[in-house]
Structure 1
Amino acid sequence: MSDTGATAATLSPLKRALVAIETLQARLDEIERARTEPIAIVGVGCRLPGGANSPDEFWTRLRDGVDLISEVPADRWDADAYHDPEQATPGTMSSRDGGFLDQVDRFDPGFFGLSLGEAASMDPQQRLLLEVAWEALEHAGQVPAKLAGTHTDVYVGISTWDYSLLLGGAPIRGLSGTAFSIAANRLSYVFDLHGASLAVDTACSSSLVAVHLACQSLRAGTARTALAGGVNVMLWPETTAAFSQVGMLSPDGRSRTFDASANGYVRGEGAGMVVLKRLSDARADGDRVLAVIRGSAVNQDGHSNGLTAPNSVAQEAVLRAALADARIAPHRVDYVEAHGTGTTLGDPIEVRALAAALGPGRDPDHPLLLGSVKTNTGHLEAAAGITGLIKVALGLHHGEIPPHLHLRELNPHVEWDKLPLRVTTTRTAWPSPAGKRVAGVSSFGFGGTNAHIVLGDAPTDPAPTAPADQRPLRLLTVSGRSEEALRDQARRYADRLAASPTPTLAGLCHTTNARRTHFAHRAAVPVADLTAARAALTALAAGDTPDGLYRAAVPTGTRRRLAFVFPGQGGQHIDMGRELYRTEPVFRRTIDRIAELFDVHHPWRLRDVMYPAEGGVRYPIDETEYAQPTLFAIQCALAETWRSWGVRPDAVMGHSLGEYAAAWVAGVFSLETGVRLIVERGRLTQTLPPTGMMAACSASAEDVAALLDGYAGQVAIAAINGPEHTVISGEKTAVQAVLERLEEDFVLTRPLRVSYASHSPLLEPILDEFEKAITGQDFGEPQIPFMSTYRATMLRSGVCHDPAYWRQQLREPVRFLEATRALAAEGYDTFLEMGPKDTLIEMGKRCLPRGTGRWLRSLDPETGNWQTLLDSAAGLHTHGVDFDWDAFEGAAHPPVDLPTYPFQRRRCWLDPEQIRAHRLTTEDQR
């Protein structure tokens, strides 16, 4: 309606009703969109049989049709002692095989803030969940610390308590080590997640039900991110023996789903976890989407042939409900990952339900494809559903369906020739075009709870084109909680760069910087290409520290106190920062803004002075008229660049001219006011006759002052830059005379590149006019500590408002030595210079005791701009200074596949004698 924007008071009752209806309809449409929005799978973590300890390793084994079943490891139970081919023999098992994990007794307790004793008393299932949750978040490019305090949900499928049985059934150090609820709650506790957190036990469908609950929560808007998965570990032989005695297990230790010889399943163990977001949120966050969940459903068999007997009607119903939730027609489903336990009763029932629900309208030339991951891994029970979901998500991502194993002859109890179904026994290209692939995953609990998930491949909408990467170098970071972990991670990264496909350098560094956690043991290196990156990583893995690589350990609880220091005149040169001006947007915008403000006051253009065109006019940049505004511009642009990267100073300090940029960073005045002050300062000093001179002397201020008694009104100390570093300034003839006397005493002296005698009596003629010119300008209070090198103290309220301060700051000596020592005395330990070269660094180091304070530069005329900048960024990062890595990286990149954290595992297990020592007695429990 044309007048819907009018106020309700100006509308007739009829129009108000129409507006209300339109508003209500819009809200209902919004609710419906949210209720049906696809859920993106943005990260996967898994620990599965046969050494499939990552999504890539799992996919490779699936794709290649690898059987992941093995004989019972000797450290679980004595397979010979428990084996009996007769299934009904009490206390024995007909199979001696299973899908087992390696080193289930090992864990990295320190990584998760646990003691060895606490970790040993925990069910290994909880430990596995902690690891795969961390790995799933890393795979998603999600820094766990950024989720702290958020309403992130956790849903965990879990249904076995073997560790508790192994410990004799009594709680160890309370219930938190073995309680099902804690399996989910511990994840929320460790990661500080404030959303729903619950364990799900519906037996074999537990983890798929967990995914369903997560999807419901995300669509309802109660959470923005969710972790969902499941876990199963086989430790107690009597559990397997019980399954064997009721005829569930295959005597030959293989799940032969859909095969005529199917005789039960083989048990498996493992853990899987997915990171889920609404698709719109995943896109907004720049995440890589592996696949999407389009719909899901859960139901129950109800009263059927038996509590544990499958119900074809209920299975068909859950399929139809999931398709309805997904808004998908049955014939559009390409593939179903079947529950597929490989039993003579269960397989035919499931196939018939699939045919009834998904067969109608299907083209006979495009049958529904079937498979089951249980033929690879065995039946992971509470983790079975998440294992199948991960398989399908990876298949959608890669555009392939892995082969279904152990099928020699189709089950004769299924009328295969009359059903539009086919089992994929070979590696198969996904038959549907990208963006339209659809698959289902089924998981049925033996108590009757059924779950089905409908998935699709990631949308093919073109991602926003990232701006071309103009940086000639990137910063690569690596870290670990220990030196061993740091080196191990470097080795893993180096191996990854040797494999195909290789990531882009920008994608690699964006992932290591912005999408990984930075631990205490750190290394960083600027690199120009992947070859250099791999060489640096290889050296780091070997324990070497080649030139250009920075490494250090940041003590726990370290909070570096960073000061930005701004130099005075003398370091200016043509083309300073030109590479940054061309390639760094924040730097360029700041220079351009200052140039716009400055150019209105002068007939020449600031950028023409700084970056003259080839063959164009080259201005004498060493002259004060040009030097001061260009230095102010460079200093402000560098400071703004660092601040845009999250490197914000705790204090600022400027040397002479540098105090103006320092004051702007501290918030004392606006950029406009700063430019006006610099214009007046440069204009007035340019009017002074060129009879002045400044020189540096390698002598103390006291020794130099003793020589100036005869030169009152002609020469003065202009700066005290160190214990043995003093600058004099004044009338040229008198300064030269003082220098001759100093050189007679073998004192080294050096004239400075300036065109006037700053901080000397020669400035007296312009001071009144300067004070008058800046009176009335807008000044504010420092928003961060502002160390004055004129007063050698922090400026307090009201000082910066007084034009007299800036008058005296121009005339009186720079007390850099005292100011630097005062900063250090207040705990400032890191100093970053904002200038075109390292004018202050060597001076600053001499002001402090050897080995104290860390000094870094922003630019160096002898080195490329990015090389210098990233060298200092590497030094700051490894020193413990925080960055806003998203801002530092600029253009967003989806996370690239990199190895996850190298846990430094150790044995965490309660041996029999420890169990006896730690088991709680009845009296203890009271």
Structure 2
Amino acid sequence: MSVNDTFKNENMEGIAVIGMAGRFPGAKSINDFWRNLKDGVESISVLTDEDILNSAIDPAILNNPRHVKAGAVLEDIELFDAAFFGFNPREAAIMDPQHRFFLECSWQALEDAGYDSENFAGEIGIYGGMGWNSYLLFNIASNRNLLSLEIGQQTLLGNEKDFLTTRTSYKLNLKGPSINVQTGCSTSLVSIYLACQSLLSYQCDMALAGGVSINVLQKAGYLHQEVGIMSPDGHCRTFDAKARGTVGGSGVGVVVLKRLEDALSERDCIHAVIIGSAINNDGALKVGYTAPSLVRQAQAIAQALAVADIEAETVNYVECHGSGTVLGDPVEIKALTKAFRTSTQKKNFCAIGSVKTNVGHLDAAAGIAGFIKTVLALKHKLIPPSLHFEEPNPEIDFTNSPFYVNTKLSEWKTNSTPRRAGVSSFGIGGTNAHIILEEAPIGEQGEQGRKYQLLVISAKTESALETATANLVNHLKQHPNLNLADVAYTLKVGRRAMGYRRVVVCQDIDDAMNALQDPKRVLTSIQETSEYAAYTPSPADGLRDRDRPVALMFPGLGTHHINMALEIYQVEPTFQEAVDRCCLLLKPILGLDLRDVLYPKNSSQKQNPSKPGLDLRKMLGRSEEPADEATQKLNQTFFTQPAIFVVEYALAQLWFEWGIRPVAMIGYSIGEFVAATLAGVLSLEDALTLVAKRAQMIQELPAGAMLAVPLTEQEVQPFLSEKLSLSAINGSSLCVISGCTEAVDELEHHLTQKGLACRRIVTSHAFHSKMMEAIAPGLHSLVKTFNLQPPKIPYLSNVTGTWITAEQATDPSYWVKHLCQTVQFASAVQELSKKHNPVLLEVGSGQTLSSLALSILQSDRLVDRVVLPSLRHSYERQSDIAFLLNTLGQLWLAGVQIDWAGFYSHERRDRLPLPTYPFERQRYWIEPHKQTQVVAISQTCSPEHFQGGEAQEYQLPTNSEIVSELSLHSRPHLRNSYVAPSSELEHKIASFYQQSLGIEQVGIYDNFFELGGNSLIGIQVIAQLRKNFQLELSLRALFEAPSVAELGLFIEEMIIAELEELTEDEAQELVSVFTQNQQALITVS
């Protein structure tokens, strides 16, 4: 959190600024902007003749002595990441760059705040405005066919000011108020004011506010007029004696706001706090419509101070409107002085400045530029210099005012009060805005967090994923003192999960940087999505419906070990609470605390060996060390089975907390009791009692042995007898035979002599064999004492190898069969794969079921299977937590939605500003038609700024049939491969798709909507099809048949149906018209 080293806000009042994004002249980011400000950089460019002529300017303008070759240029205004936001190329090219920049900036501001709008629990509002439509005027209007009835509405939606914020709300799924604001130069600061009011009145819980202004003729220069507001020398000299005006510029900025109390409780990164704000209008209290009003400016400032409830002398800095005009500057200082003098007579204590000296006048974005500058100054505790101030304007009496112009980078010192600043913005037409800011309060120190952290990164494309990874590495290098736990948290909760995904588990910042650059440690996956359709908002309640399903597998005996999941027990409260509860319930039955058996303090087995890797002897079952006393005790069935149940049940509770909700479960042997308990067949108390007493019964039986053999069920049959039983079928060629120890020894010797690799299972008895039948009556009686319920979650039966039924689950006889009969694991896995194609997650110690399931699925040639273990093997020397987090990461890679709030439910984590999405911008631009030529430009600010100056003159073409210069873009990445049209009908439909979407190549199986189409564009396509085929097609046809192939078949069927109803002459005439249209299209193409 941005921390004030002196002050703490006690009353929780105010509006917190928690996120920022912007692009300004000379600055592609907020960091660039701050660097330029503190270094005193003027970002107003000196334009070349080539720049000016490339702007479609009449060459004669170069000889005009009043022409000023200067402009505050915003770079790359023609570039946009259309695919990211789901726009097709044609739609993007028609859209005003102000719409595009505002949309990108809004996304970045939310990410900077550490929020994904899809997963925010409250409502997010947005307030903003844009400058005049120069793109529409000079580029679109000169291509008259873009104003036709067919695409005129699309042009309107992409350019009109009215749709700036609502389009952003749609694309970002913002459901709070969406208000377009237009008050001239004060637009963006008024937007902030309105956003604050919306938050304070609980109309929304978070708000975006800002503005954008882009003049497509920003490199054309301007004509200076003596009575105008434009500078004669290309510099803005605010408050200086030489000040004669400003310089127009382009820029965009958006901030994210939240109620301070909410921001503090949710541990947002607070850059500054708005403690007071006010707006008003001059009315008629001035000499003319475009003139400023001293009285009304002063009243707006005084009202903001009153709302903040502070003394004026506690304000250390004011970011002025400061346009550098002869009239405006003195009026502004007099208004400020008048407002301050109501509470203080102190002189020259408050610094002032104007960002216009750096970046010029940004029109609708002017207020947000000054606001962001001031927030940054508060955050860094530095006041940037205001440029070009040498001698004060003689009309300004600084000596007797509270103010002085800050001309150098100054440390922002304060005494008994927090650092405070005012920001002013006054619009042509008289709408005045003033906001009071205060530095951010102290935040509570964050916790250290887990020893290991899971970092997740995602992007829309593979190249963007690589860029995002590199950007994160660079950020960590530049900020080595960040808490890695907060970095990991922000990446999870503050970023949208996209198709290209990457995860890594690491311990600290240095380890994170190394791991992110190590191909051996990072895991990457691709979740296939349509390039254009992927990020069009969907209903929030439908998100989980698109999750990859998960099935849980609970293993049985054989992989248990001392200190099983000990590290997880030590650091994960949910797991610990579940283990503690189970052990407390078991204590009266077992006669001891099972935790003393699971986690004995004097065990010779270390939880985290110093050397990572594998204990090969232990892995092969050839450890020379005899089992210690603790291991021998755990290996007793009376303790083994309850221990396995407890660990698996507790681990399932942890997965549930992390958002894993299974569509199905499989329990192997004792593991089925865990599945039944989670499904609601047994209560936890009854399940623990049943498992413990069942184990006690088994403990009293004669010892036995179990042997895994690489044989099919049929190949095993000759070896079965009264002494040997088929205990489990684990695969097409993998079974388990069990029985008395002598018989199993003989079988193992016999099969080994034949060259078959057999494996003895570490167990005390011959489970699922005839040796269990002796306790069947007692078990039946025991189960009858419990209240069995039908399962609420589907799971597969060990006995049948298919889905458990309510009758089976509630029948005591079933649980007797479960003890004595063969475990049909292979059949169960195959049955599950037919229904769900889930990720299989093993919930227990080791990876036995994972290996078996993979073998089963591979033998059935099933593809795209993900099988994951939760815990390491006992012989693996690594951290349980690191292993578990790696599995969690792989679940996310596979497309499983994780509940990150649940994952962090026991931690207090901070959101951090981290690198935002690396947009992959391409050029989408309509050039002005060559007949259009701007003859003269009086200024580069909006038309509202005219004060008797010359109007902008332009010439429109008279030929309405001019073909627009819209370039076609390459086919986007889709889930299906490209298949070229073959028939003439397919060629015709594909050409309509290409023209309407601006895509160079459309395949016959490409979905219109995945290509970036929408209902509005669909109407245009249907209109063309109706015209060419003389058919009564409706938009519904496109929704039902969105591909070229489907639509072609639909049209063919319509034509055939119509032909059957026509006379022979009518049919011949229709075919003739169809043929002519076809030939005309071929000729054009």
Q: Deviations over 1:105-157 (max 9, x none)?
A: 00000110110110110000000001100000000001121249x54221112
Relative to structure 1, the CA distance from residue 761 to residue 452 in structure 2 (aligned partners, 3 Å threshold; closer, same or farther) is same
Q: 1:600 aligns with which of 588, 601, 619?
A: 588
Q: Write out aligned runs for 1:110-189 (5 A).
A: 110-147=83-120, 151-167=123-139, 169=141, 171=147, 173-189=154-170
Residue 45 (1) aligns with residue 10 (2): no
Relative to structure 1, the CA distance from residue 409 to residue 538 in structure 2 (aligned partners, 3 Å threshold; closer, same or farther) is farther
Secondary structure at 1:416 match in 2: coil
| Counterparts of 2:98 and 2:411, CA distance in 1 | 35
Q: 2:884 aligns with which of 859, 869, 875?
A: 869
Alpha-carbon shift at residue 897 of structure 1 (Å): 2.5
| Counterparts of 1:530 and 1:851, CA distance in 2 | 40
| Counterparts of 1:883 and 1:72, CA distance in 2 | 52
Relative to structure 1, the CA distance from residue 77 to residue 829 in structure 2 (aligned partners, 3 Å threshold; closer, same or farther) is farther
Partner residue, 1:698: 710
Kept in 2: contact 1:480–1:521 (CA 8 A)? yes
| Number of positions where the alignment pairs a residue of Structure 1 with one of Structure 2 | 872
Relative to structure 1, the CA distance from residue 133 to residue 840 in structure 2 (aligned partners, 3 Å threshold; closer, same or farther) is same
Q: Deviations over 1:804-859 (max 9, x none)?
A: 22111111110011111111111333211111111212211221225632211111
Secondary structure at 1:799 match in 2: helix
Q: Write out aligned runs for 1:314-713 (5 A).
A: 314-362=296-344, 364=346, 367-433=349-415, 436-460=418-442, 462-463=443-444, 465-469=445-449, 471-500=450-479, 502-539=481-518, 546-556=519-529, 559-614=547-602, 618=630, 620-690=633-703, 692-708=704-720, 711-712=721-722
Residue 70 (1) aligns with residue 45 (2): yes
Alpha-carbon shift at residue 600 of structure 1 (Å): 2.0
Alpha-carbon shift at residue 483 of structure 1 (Å): 0.2
| Counterparts of 2:135 and 2:62, CA distance in 1 | 27
Alpha-carbon shift at residue 80 of structure 1 (Å): 11
Alpha-carbon shift at residue 446 of structure 1 (Å): 1.4
Alpha-carbon shift at residue 561 of structure 1 (Å): 2.4
Q: Write out aligned runs for 1:842-881 (5 A).
A: 842-849=851-858, 852=863, 853-860=865-872, 861=874, 862=876, 863-881=878-896
Q: Deviations over 1:604-644 (max 9, x none)?
A: 22001111013796252112111111111111122111221
Partner residue, 1:14: none
Kept in 2: contact 1:43–1:274 (CA 8 A)? yes
Alpha-carbon shift at residue 103 of structure 1 (Å): 0.8
Kept in 2: contact 1:85–1:95 (CA 8 A)? no
Kept in 1: contact 2:21–2:106 (CA 8 A)? yes
Alpha-carbon shift at residue 217 of structure 1 (Å): 1.1
Q: 2:898 aligns with which of 873, 880, 883?
A: 883
| Counterparts of 1:579 and 1:883, CA distance in 2 | 22
Q: Unpaired segments of 5 or more residues in structure 1?
A: 1-32, 540-545
Query: Which deviates more from structure 2 when the two are superposed, residues 724-733 or residues 433-442?
Result: 433-442
| Counterparts of 2:216 and 2:120, CA distance in 1 | 33
Relative to structure 1, the CA distance from residue 444 to residue 181 in structure 2 (aligned partners, 3 Å threshold; closer, same or farther) is same
| Counterparts of 1:250 and 1:270, CA distance in 2 | 19
| Counterparts of 1:644 and 1:366, CA distance in 2 | 59
Q: In the alignment, residue 128 of structure 1 is paired with which amino acid? A: F
Kept in 2: contact 1:331–1:359 (CA 8 A)? no
Residue 895 (1) aligns with residue 911 (2): yes
| Counterparts of 1:501 and 1:322, CA distance in 2 | 40
Q: In the alignment, residue 865 of structure 1 is paired with which amino acid? A: D
Kept in 2: contact 1:681–1:770 (CA 8 A)? yes
With the length of structure 2 as denominator, give the TM-score of the two structures: 0.77
Kept in 1: contact 2:347–2:400 (CA 8 A)? no
Partner residue, 1:20: none
Partner residue, 2:764: 755
Q: 1:104 aligns with which of 51, 57, 77?
A: 77
| Counterparts of 1:383 and 1:109, CA distance in 2 | 23
Relative to structure 1, the CA distance from residue 893 to residue 58 in structure 2 (aligned partners, 3 Å threshold; closer, same or farther) is farther
Q: 2:198 aligns with which of 202, 217, 221?
A: 217
Alpha-carbon shift at residue 432 of structure 1 (Å): 2.2
Secondary structure at 1:620 match in 2: helix
| Counterparts of 1:430 and 1:237, CA distance in 2 | 35
Alpha-carbon shift at residue 72 of structure 1 (Å): 4.1
Relative to structure 1, the CA distance from residue 244 to residue 811 in structure 2 (aligned partners, 3 Å threshold; closer, same or farther) is farther
Secondary structure at 1:756 match in 2: coil
Q: In the alignment, residue 580 of structure 2 is paired with which amino acid? A: D
| Counterparts of 1:86 and 1:356, CA distance in 2 | 45
Alpha-carbon shift at residue 384 of structure 1 (Å): 0.5
Partner residue, 1:9: none
Alpha-carbon shift at residue 881 of structure 1 (Å): 1.3
Alpha-carbon shift at residue 912 of structure 1 (Å): 4.1
CA RMSD of aligned residues (A): 2.7
Kept in 1: contact 2:52–2:221 (CA 8 A)? no
Secondary structure at 2:884 match in 1: helix
Q: Unpaired segments of 5 or more residues in structure 2?
A: 1-8, 535-545, 605-628, 931-960, 967-1019, 1024-1085
Partner residue, 1:199: 180
Secondary structure at 2:746 match in 1: helix
| Counterparts of 1:86 and 1:722, CA distance in 2 | 84
Kept in 1: contact 2:69–2:222 (CA 8 A)? no
Kept in 1: contact 2:314–2:417 (CA 8 A)? no
Kept in 2: contact 1:570–1:622 (CA 8 A)? no
Partner residue, 1:268: 249
Q: Deviations over 1:498-556 (max 9, x none)?
A: 214541211211111222112100110111222221123335xxxxxx22211010122
Aligned-pair identity in percent equals 37
Partner residue, 1:766: 775
Alpha-carbon shift at residue 750 of structure 1 (Å): 2.1
Residue 291 (1) aligns with residue 300 (2): no
| Counterparts of 1:434 and 1:808, CA distance in 2 | 79
Query: Which deviates more from structure 2 when the two are superposed, residues 73-82 or residues 815-824?
Result: 73-82
Kept in 2: contact 1:836–1:858 (CA 8 A)? yes
Q: Deviations over 1:59-104 (max 9, x none)?
A: 22212211111134856754896799999x6xx9632112111111
| Counterparts of 1:413 and 1:218, CA distance in 2 | 41
With the length of structure 1 as denominator, give the TM-score of the two structures: 0.90
Secondary structure at 2:809 match in 1: coil
Q: Write out aligned runs for 1:737-756 (5 A).
A: 737-756=746-765
Greater RCO, 1 or 2 (C-alpha within 8 Å, sep 6+):
2
Residue 59 (1) aligns with residue 75 (2): no
Relative to structure 1, the CA distance from residue 69 to residue 174 in structure 2 (aligned partners, 3 Å threshold; closer, same or farther) is closer
Alpha-carbon shift at residue 184 of structure 1 (Å): 1.1
| Counterparts of 1:519 and 1:39, CA distance in 2 | 31
Q: Deviations over 1:558-587 (max 9, x none)?
A: 642211101111111111111111111111
| Counterparts of 1:435 and 1:478, CA distance in 2 | 41
Kept in 2: contact 1:40–1:293 (CA 8 A)? yes
Kept in 2: contact 1:140–1:288 (CA 8 A)? yes
